[in-house]
């Protein structure tokens, strides 16, 4: 087996026979959830990092 044929098999395996993103994943919901999680982590970090 050559490197090219191994890479082609891995690409085929990674695709899984599906084309394009899954229909139920909304990028705005994903990005909003990530932003919310990061803001929550920032708030927690600043609460514990107060000077006394």
Cα angle 19-25-29, degrees, rounded to a multiple of 5:
150
Average pLDDT, the chain: 80
Q: Is the pLDDT of residue 7 over 90?
A: no
Listed by start position, the domains of the chain span 27-52
- The secondary structure of 6-42 as a DSSP string is HHHHHHHHHHTT--SS-TT--HHHHHHHHHHHHHHHH
Assess whether pLDDT exceeds 60 at residue 17. Answer: no
């Amino acid at each position: 087996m050559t490197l090219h044929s191994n890479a082609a098999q891995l690409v085929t395996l990674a695709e899984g026979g599906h084309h394009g993103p899954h229909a139920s994943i909304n990028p705005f919901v994903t990005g909003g959830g990530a932003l919310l999680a990061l803001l929550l982590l920032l708030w927690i970090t600043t609460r514990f990092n107060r000077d006394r």
